């Protein structure tokens, strides 16, 4: 098989690493890839957001299947463009990717289908109406820009001043362009968060190992929200009863509902869930795998990912089963100084070969560049050090042991990935979280 992977972060390195282990695979391209990916795949310079250029690239390379990491190309219709050209791709069509591309579409879909989610105070098309609505809410509330905002379009807050200023930035100053023209205001939910990701061909589905992300920048869930500072996976995150309830009340009605509304969903679908006192509820959908969840998930994959992707592309997923290594995995993200704000780059990275000597661990590159024989940092989240283990504690210890060998100027990472399940989830009232 020849496979093309679109994207260039830690998630894509993890996918390429796993695909490279398949005896079915003879060639992997990654567009654009990164320093670490270039060691195991052929990287091709490309902008994943340029749908026509990516489709033309695939037309030239003729991969058997293409898998897409980030949401932007899918929301812009890459899957439709591939279908028009007779190329196989793992990812939803533009209309199905609206589950992530429009928070208002997603919320109205959830409400139409009776799928548990936070209740809403309304959808607002003018800042005046949005300001007025704040007089009649119970705090905390969550404000969500309708479109993709590069990680900054959601505010969870108990502060009327913060909510007012967010509305002004979004709807009057148009800080995120058209994405902020429509605003959803909803109830703030409390509980633990869970990332439940499934792979579906539209008819059958295979759940990925369940994971939990760590969104805040610093230990104890302090500091600003990030793309994710680490993740872990263990079967203990999910009882059989809870999984049954998630499948029956959320996952299956979503897949069935999208099909019956003429938007059949194919590809990875990420359910961001809050485990509330009243049961699991949907916070958000992503039309792709999570980052850094994927790095923790691939560590536990005990099956041939290439074979499974091909089965999805051919609509034959029903014949396959996923097997997951016991018992746990973890991924610790090493970030640049300043992340998630503007950050320093171009710093030399040392200790990678020592880290790679820890057999339970794998170092995934998220933003590195190789010059000569040295890796340099090239973004905010630089590396994801992942490990598996016979217990969560063992996986976490191996990931930290490997991470402890690595250094670059200004490097920071959380010291409590997978160690502080009890402080996961929503911060106490009054805290603010900004996200995508």
87 binds ligand AMP (CB under 6 A): no
State the Cα–Cα distance between residues 384 and 406, nearest whole angstrom: 11
297-307: buried (b, 16+ CB within 10 Å) or exposed (e) per residue? Answer: bbbbbebbbbe
298 binds ligand AMP (CB under 6 A): no
Counted residue by residue, the chain has a size of 436
Residues near 323 by Cβ (< 8 Å), separated by ≥ 6?
302, 303
Q: Is the Cβ of residue 29 or residue 271 nearer to ligand AMP in the bound state? A: 271
Q: Is the Cβ of residue 95 or residue 294 nearer to ligand GLY in the bound state? A: 294
201 binds ligand GLY (CB under 6 A): no
71 binds ligand AMP (CB under 6 A): no
Select from 52-60, 181-189, 251-259, 404-412 the region that touches ligand AMP (CB under 6 A): 181-189
- CA–CA distances in Å: residue 393 to residues 140, 209, 318, 329, 389: 34, 17, 34, 9, 8
Tell the residue number behind the tokens 């005046």, with chain if given: 128
Nearest to 292 by CA among 3, 2, 9, 7: 9
State the Cα–Cα distance between residues 67 and 368, nearest whole angstrom: 21
Instruction: Look up residue 43 and give its two tokens.
Output: 């990287």
3-state DSSP call for residue 359? coil
Helices (H) and strands (E) in the chain, counts: 14, 23
| Per-residue interface string for the shown chain with ligand GLY, residues 203-222, x marking contact by CB under 6 A | ----------x---------
Site for ligand AMP in 29-58 (CB under 6 A): none
| Per-residue interface string for the shown chain with ligand AMP, residues 242-271, x marking contact by CB under 6 A | ------------------------------
279 binds ligand AMP (CB under 6 A): no
How many C-beta neighbours within 10 Å does residue 52 have?
A: 11
Nearest to 102 by CA among 71, 70, 139: 71
Q: Is the Cβ of residue 20 or residue 151 nearer to ligand GLY in the bound state? A: 151
How many C-beta neighbours within 10 Å does residue 409 have?
A: 12
283 binds ligand AMP (CB under 6 A): yes
State the Cα–Cα distance between residues 60 and 353, nearest whole angstrom: 36
Site for ligand AMP in 100-119 (CB under 6 A): 118
- DSSP string for 250-271: IIHHHHHHHHHTT----EEEEE
Q: Is the Cβ of residue 405 or residue 424 nearer to ligand AMP in the bound state? A: 424
293 binds ligand GLY (CB under 6 A): yes
> At its nearest, how many Å lie between ligand AMP and the CB of residue 283?
4
Q: Which of 189, 208, 250, 361 binds ligand AMP (CB under 6 A)?
A: 189
63 binds ligand AMP (CB under 6 A): no
Site for ligand GLY in 84-143 (CB under 6 A): none
Q: Is the Cβ of residue 35 or residue 70 nearer to ligand GLY in the bound state? A: 70
Q: Is the Cβ of residue 80 or residue 213 nearer to ligand GLY in the bound state? A: 213
Q: Which of 284, 293, 304, 416 binds ligand AMP (CB under 6 A)?
A: 284
Q: Which does 293 bind (CB under 5 to 8 A by kind): ligand AMP, ligand GLY, none?
A: ligand GLY
State the Cα–Cα distance between residues 353 and 351, nearest whole angstrom: 6
Which residues are at the interface with ligand AMP (CB under 6 A)? Answer: 118, 142, 154, 156, 186-189, 193, 215, 272, 283-284, 426, 433, 435-436
Which residues are at the interface with ligand GLY (CB under 6 A)? Answer: 213, 227-228, 286, 290-291, 293
């Amino acid at each position: 098989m020849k496979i093309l992977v679109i994207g260039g972060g830690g998630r894509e390195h993890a996918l390429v690493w796993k695909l490279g282990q398949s005896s079915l695979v003879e060639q992997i391209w990654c567009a654009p890839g990164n320093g670490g990916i270039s060691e195991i795949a052929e990287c091709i310079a490309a902008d994943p957001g340029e749908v026509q250029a990516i489709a033309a690239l695939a037309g030239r390379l003729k991969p058997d299947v293409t898998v897409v990491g980030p949401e932007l190309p899918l929301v812009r219709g890459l899957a439709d463009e591939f279908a028009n050209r007779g190329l196989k791709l793992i990812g939803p069509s533009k209309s199905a990717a609206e589950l992530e591309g429009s928070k208002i579409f997603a919320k109205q879909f959830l409400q139409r289908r009776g799928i548990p989610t936070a209740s809403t105070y309304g959808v607002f098309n003018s800042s005046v109406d949005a300001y007025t609505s704040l007089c009649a809410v119970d705090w905390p509330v969550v404000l969500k820009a309708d479109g993709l905002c590069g990680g900054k379009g959601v505010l969870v807050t108990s502060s009327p001043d913060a909510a007012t200023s967010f509305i002004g930035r979004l709807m009057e100053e148009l800080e995120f362009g058209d994405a902020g023209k429509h605003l959803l205001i909803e109830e703030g939910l409390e509980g633990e968060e869970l990332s439940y990701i499934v792979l579906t061909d539209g008819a059958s589905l295979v759940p990925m190992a369940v994971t939990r992300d760590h969104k805040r920048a610093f230990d104890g869930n302090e500091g600003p929200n990030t793309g994710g500072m680490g993740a872990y996976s263990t079967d203990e995150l999910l009882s059989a009863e809870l999984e049954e309830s998630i499948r029956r009340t959320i996952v299956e009605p979503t897949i069935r509902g999208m099909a019956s509304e003429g938007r059949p969903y194919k590809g990875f679908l990420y359910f961001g869930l809050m485990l509330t006192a009243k049961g699991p509820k949907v916070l958000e959908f992503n039309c792709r795998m999570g980052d850094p969840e994927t790095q923790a998930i691939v560590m536990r994959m005990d099956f041939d990912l290439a074979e499974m992707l091909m089965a999805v592309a051919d609509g034959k997923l029903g014949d396959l089963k996923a097997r997951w290594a016991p018992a746990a995995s973890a991924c610790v993200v090493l970030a640049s100084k300043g992340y998630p704000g503007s950050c320093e780059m171009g710093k030399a990275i040392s200790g990678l070969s020592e880290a790679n000597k820890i057999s339970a661990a794998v170092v995934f590159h998220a933003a590195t560049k190789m010059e000569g024989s040295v890796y340099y940092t090239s973004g905010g989240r630089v590396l994801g050090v992942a490990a598996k283990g016979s217990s969560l504690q063992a996986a976490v210890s191996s990931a930290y042991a490997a991470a402890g060998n690595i250094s670059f100027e200004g490097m920071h990472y959380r010291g409590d990935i997978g160690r502080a399940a009890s402080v996961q989830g929503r911060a106490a009232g009054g805290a603010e979280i900004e996200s995508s």
